[in-house]
Amino acid sequence: MGIVAFAAEALTQVPLTTDYPVVSSAVDNLAPGQLEDGTAIGTALATAANRLRTAPGRSKVIILLTDGENNRGAIDPRTAGKAAAAFGIKIYTVGVGTEGMAPVPVGRGLFGLRYENRPVRIDEPLLTDIANVSGGRYFRARDAAALQRIYQQIDQLEREPVQTKSYVRFTELFRWPLALALFALTMELILAAWRGPLP
């Protein structure tokens, strides 16, 4: 599992890992304004596919979560979807947000991010095409509960056991009890020699 955050550009937030607490923490720390404003879906897909293409395992999946339409980046999203499919990567696309107007970060002001109400536009035909070309599926989440149900559906569709290796580092602690026992034995011998032989 990994995270590629994107706006006008894409950034690998968490490389592939089985350390789920790290992934969860990174998701919690995602915030608007970390990257330049925009939606570069093609760049995000290409970045994620590049990370996944050499990953071990049969099931390679990208979940593309977006609340906008592609308006930035040099890579066409459909081309990126086809390239991912060529590497055997399945893409599930999720359009997130309500219809109508929503606050969108438009820049930084004196007191942090500035927001303006703008129409929510999700390019559902594009997201459907990307999902279809890779053997995935398009979902629409209008609220947090719907998003949770979508993740559960994807989880049921993409079950594959993950093999991990665990290493245990042992520290030998016998030295301290052994040293204490040798000290006690030495003291016993010294005391016995000092007292003399027993009658």
Please report, for the chain, the start and end positions of each structural domain, with discontinuous segments joined by +.
Answer: 3-157
CA distances from 147 to 7, 24, 58, 138 (A): 20, 16, 25, 12
Does residue 137 contact residue 84 with C-beta atoms inside 8 Å?
Answer: no
Q: Is the pLDDT of residue 198 over 70?
A: no
At the topology level of CATH, where does 3-157 sit?
Rossmann fold (3.40.50)
82-108 pLDDT, tens per residue?
999 999 999 999 998 877 787 777 777
Question: Which of 12-21, 26-35, 140-149 is predicted most confidently?
Answer: 140-149
102-132 pLDDT, tens per residue?
777 777 778 777 788 877 788 999 999 999 9
Specify which residues 63 forms β-bridges with: 92
Q: What is the pTM of this model?
A: 0.73
- pLDDT confidence of residue 134: 93
Q: What's the whole-number mean pLDDT along residues 22-37?
A: 81
Q: Are strands 138-141 and 89-96 parallel, antiparallel or unpaired?
A: parallel
- pLDDT confidence of residue 175: 84
Q: Is the pLDDT of residue 161 over 90?
A: no
SS3 135: coil
Ordered DSSP codes for 79-102:
HHHHHHHHTTEEEEEEEES-SSEE
SS3 187: helix
> How much is the mean pLDDT over the chain?
85
40-73 pLDDT, tens per residue?
899 999 999 998 888 877 789 999 999 878 888 8
- pLDDT confidence of residue 23: 87
Q: Which helix (H) or strand (E) holds 63?
A: strand 60-66
- pLDDT confidence of residue 45: 94
